[in-house]
Structure 1
Amino acid sequence: MVKKILAGILCAATMITLSVGCSDSSAPGASTDPSAKITGNTGEVKLEKGDKYAVMTIKDYGDITIKLYPDAAPKGTQNFIDLANSGFYNGKTFHRVVADFMAQGGKDFTGKTNVESFGIETNYNMRHFYGAFCYANALGNNSTEFYIVNNKKSQDYSSFSTSKIDNNIQGYEDYAKQYDKDSQEYTYYMFQANYYRNLKQFIENMDDATKAKYKEVGGTPSLDGNYTVFGQTVDGFDVLDKISAVEVETNDAMGGKEVSKPKTEIIIEKVEIKDYE
């Protein structure tokens, strides 16, 4: 059991660099019902009249066009729109790139940003497909950082068993019981237990169409249920692929334990918010 839990901790450590959140309605930071009926990115994604979308211009690379989903993540979408319209993202960078996982940006390294954080917003119809646009959160709270899923590898969940997830949930809860409920250790281990509980919930609610799309286009389904997916790339996949292929080095922003910092800065020149006509 100890070996299995340690393996789980290492896996979670990779994900927690995005600062994992919890979508359970009783958890801090949660703000939506994942079963709410909305039109998400699980079906065909295209811009239609009245849609909000973002055009992210990246210096020396080109544009990435992203359809936004205010019905799926009203707080998150409006926050991003407000930040983009204020020019906040102009000059920011993609500071973390992990091949076959995601490209992360929008961090204010000055520490002077005064943006009120808000809870994650999840929905069964918003998934981490290749090109999904999502918030990187800190213990269930979103702010300014985002990531774009860059994994194009087919993900086959047609016969996935959640038994291993149950083992992780139980293991983390067992570890938590060894500590006082007011301790950081207890909070951490229970947070991880909830992470896997949320993931299990989203896997169990993955319909055939969603499974088929993950198999066709790829993505990172292991992040489902714990991060706000509020957009989907519709154009500029070639730009995303070029960014994802850059040379990287040890990333001090990630504690120096991950090789993910682009050797050459990837600069966001501007983000424009538009209405599709």
Structure 2
Amino acid sequence: MKKWILTLATCITVISLQAQKDSTVTKKDRKKDVLMKTTMGDMVIRLSDSTPLHRDNFLKLVKVHFYDSLLFHRVIQNFMIQGGDPTSKTAEAGKGLGGGGLNYTVPAEFRSSLFHKKGVLAAARTGDSRNPTKASSSCQFYIVQGKVFTDAGLDSLETFRLNGRKLPAVQREAYKTIGGTPHLDQGYTVYGEVVKGLDVVDKIAAVPTSKGADLDRPLENVRILKTKLIKRKKIKS
């Protein structure tokens, strides 16, 4: 009996050490991109070294296959597609989602060079009243689709939604050409972007969604099949 107990304890220790090793983020990992395979196509995501806390957290979750089989549970055309709720993996049809997470948050990492242009990856979070430091969800994320703005539209947004804050010229140009969601800047942490597969973002954003208790959930599940680290390739301009 003692031998069996010792053997079991050894196995548990080995499994625990292996799990710890699998989730450890290395320097090589930080030089790789993330392939996200979905039921509507594949996307390649490049994480930002300017947001190391969010970068390493996302890499860790990818390495342990956390996102595999989860849903894009909140989809709003001309705004964004959101996923990463662990309760979505086995959620029945019609169930409202978005409240799931892990038992920690990630401190905000706002960077003026990272803004909500189309295709960026950003962290979801709870609202300001409960979360005055704007700390990010441990696992939920969104990818921006947004819309294209005119100069007049951006002027109005600066006045009425940004409390007079002026958008830098480079950001205005991006919002006028590829589009985005500028009202979210400096409120939610941007920590990466889709470098291949923007058409997939558009496809997901266009699916029919619920207007019921499960508001904005796709009527037919859009699932993340698999995420994995891949060799980084130069992106053609």
Q: State whether residues 133 and 229 of structure 1, in contact with CA within 8 Å, keep that contact through their aligned partners in structure 2.
A: yes
Structure-2 residue corresponding to 1:147: 142
How do 1:32-181 and structure 2 match up within 5 A?
51-59=31-39, 61-71=40-50, 73-109=51-87, 114-138=102-126, 139=131, 140-142=134-136, 143-156=138-151, 159-160=155-156, 162-165=158-161
Change (3 A) 1:103 1:112: closer
| TM-score (ref. length: structure 1) | 0.61
Aligned counterpart, 2:91: none
Alignment check: 8 A CA contact 2:145 2:202 kept = yes
Q: Cα RMSD over matched residues?
A: 2.3
Contact map agreement 1:251 1:261 (CA 8 A) in 2: no
The structure with more radius of gyration = 2
User: Can you list the C-alpha shifts for 1:216-268, whole angstroms capped at 9, x where unaligned?
Assistant: 10000010010010011111111111101101113535xxxx4x110001110
Provide the C-alpha distance between the structure 2 equivalents of 1:225 and 1:108, rounded to a whole number of angstroms. 26
Q: Percent identity at matched positions?
A: 31
How is 1:192-271 mapped onto 2 (pairs within 5 angstroms)?
199-200=162-163, 203-204=165-166, 206-250=167-211, 252=213, 258=215, 260-271=216-227
What amino acid maps onto 1:84 in structure 2? V
Mapped partners of 2:213, 2:66: distance in 1? 23
User: What are the ranges of 5 or more consecutive residues in structure 1 without an aligned counterpart?
Assistant: 1-49, 166-198
Q: Is residue 155–residue 219 contact of structure 1 (8 Å, CA) maintained in 2?
A: no
Q: Which residue of 2 aligns with 1:14?
A: none
CA distance in 2, matches of 1:242, 1:125: 27
Gaps of 5+ in 2: 1-29, 89-98
Q: Which amino acid aligns with 2:36?
A: M
CA contact (8 A) 1:96 1:251 kept: no
